[in-house]
Structure 1
Amino acid sequence: MAANRKLLAAAVACAAAIVGLTGCLGGDEEKDPFEGMSADKIAKKAADTSKGAGSFKVTGEGKQDGKPLHVDFSVAKSGDCKGKMDGGAEDTAELLVSGDAQYMKGDEAFWKDAMGGSGSGGQASRLEGKWVKSPNAEGKSVCDADAMFQSKDLKKLKREKDSEVDGKKAAVLTKNKSGKKTTFYVSAEGKPYFLKVVTTGKEDPGTMNFSDYGKPVVVKAPAPGDVMDMQELMKS
């Protein structure tokens, strides 16, 4: 059970980790929307605003336990979410969180890796193409925006030279800790959402892009006939 939760959480681990730690280009005549604010206050404002949007999309790539990981998922205002993760070498999976349940559907390579190697080939083949259901850990969704956009750890940041992300002006905030550098890009146009977070260093580097704030996201639980219950599987 614990292993399955870890695998499900891997799809959002990069984003959750880097956001919960998850001036402007142009002429001098342009007003800085963050004038007089410290880097920490800018980050808190971005965390509050991003969380307040309710729904959003995250795409990006990085590493989880040293392995490459590509993610693409959408989070609904309710905390439900849906998306995909790709670990390469046909090691792919879809995730879906609806209500008090989490669902994961992966290919055979994914389930073999999840179960610890080639010795689990029979079980992995059985699970391929099925949604495996498990309860939310501690009753909370892995896509909980409150957890993802925690501002309490956004401390001791430094504001760097402003930049832009996909044509949008952005304030650039950095944090260095234990050989790991995290760079936050906060929109300086319109609402101060997080636009991108880049982490560099030896452990789990990655880039996450945030978009579609406030756009409706519809998540529906899989049909019962396509679902296998993890608790029942653990008993067999």
Structure 2
Amino acid sequence: MAANRKLLAAAVACAAAFVGITGCSSEEKDPFDGMSADKIAKKAADASKGAGSFRVSGEGKQDAKTVKVDFSVAKSGDCEGKMDGGKGGIAELLVSGDTQYMKGDEAFWKDAMGGSGKASTLKDKWVKTPNAKGEGICNADAMFQTKDLKKLKRGDDSEVGGKKAAVLTKNESGKKTSFYVAAEGKPYFLKVVTSGKEDPGTMNFTDYGKPVAVKAPAPGDVMDMEELMKP
């Protein structure tokens, strides 16, 4: 009976905490207890790749220009998304199988082609080029490489979108990169923040495992870059 009274008293204390009468706490177990920062990062890379599909969005600087991106990547390696380069123009990118399709405004094509007079011709047209497999934002293996996830240090935990996250940092050549790994549920990468003089930015990762269907443009809406570049 004494044991039952103690359990009842504990339950009352916890219930009272919900209405602000008193406090009730319990220690949350660290899912990465005993693991080095490098091992946590590898676990996150394996989980993120294993999800098959994901969405990456954010902004960063490239060649002193601010670029915003928002891409959804399918398990197959196909993907679709948008890039906003400000004065550098806006473009949509779509990868389907062995082909990459890009559609941009005139500012984008002028910037991409060094002011070429063909920019107006390409405006708002889908332009196709061969897809370089194994590279770029549409490849999960390239996105979540483990070779750069070395010599990390774990800092204080934080939150990303209301989810508890372990924070792993790396300082190299004046560049600091912080990797936020979900400490609840699957250990996915939630955010990567890079700071420093060169190419700072923030990328957010969401929608892991969510199906992504990518459909190639109709042939009549597509122009071939190789044909366009012929003299």
Instruction: Give TM-score, length-normalised by structure 2.
Output: 0.87
Q: Return the offset for 1:141.
A: 5.3
Q: Return the offset for 1:152.
A: 2.0
Whole-angstrom CA distance in 2 between matches of 1:226 and 1:185: 41
Match of 1:163 among 142, 155, 158: 158
Task: Indicate whether 1:173 and 2:168 are aligned.
Answer: yes
SS at match of 2:33: coil
Deviations 1:7-29 (A, max 9, x none): xxxxxxxxxxxxxxxxxxxx671
Task: Indicate whether 1:98 and 2:96 are aligned.
Answer: yes
Task: Indicate whether 1:227 and 2:227 are aligned.
Answer: no
The equivalent of 2:110 in structure 1 is 112
Q: Return the offset for 1:140.
A: 3.6
The equivalent of 1:186 in structure 2 is 181
Q: Any runs of at least 4 consecutive aligned residues in structure 1 with deviations exceeding 6 A, and if so which? A: none
Whole-angstrom CA distance in 2 between matches of 1:210 and 1:233: 36
Deviations 1:11-52 (A, max 9, x none): xxxxxxxxxxxxxxxx67110000000000000000000000
Contact 1:104 1:131 in 2 (8 A): yes
Cα gap change, 1:85 to 1:79, in 2 (>3 Å): same
SS at match of 1:203: coil
Instruction: Give TM-score, length-normalised by structure 1.
Output: 0.85
Deviations 1:104-133 (A, max 9, x none): 10000000111112xx2x311100011110
Contact 2:167 2:180 in 1 (8 A): yes
Contact 2:135 2:142 in 1 (8 A): no
Q: Give me the identity figure in percent.
A: 82
Match of 1:199 among 179, 185, 194: 194
Higher RCO by CA contacts (8 Å cutoff, separation 6 or greater): 1
Whole-angstrom CA distance in 1 between matches of 2:154 and 2:166: 7
Task: Indicate whether 1:51 and 2:49 are aligned.
Answer: yes
Whole-angstrom CA distance in 1 between matches of 2:190 and 2:173: 24
Task: Indicate whether 1:64 and 2:59 are aligned.
Answer: no
Name the aligned partner's letter for residue 44 of structure 1: K
Unaligned residue ranges in structure 1 (runs of 5+): 1-26
The equivalent of 1:86 in structure 2 is 84
Whole-angstrom CA distance in 2 between matches of 1:51 and 1:220: 22
Match of 1:154 among 136, 139, 149: 149
What number of residue pairs does the alignment pair up?
206
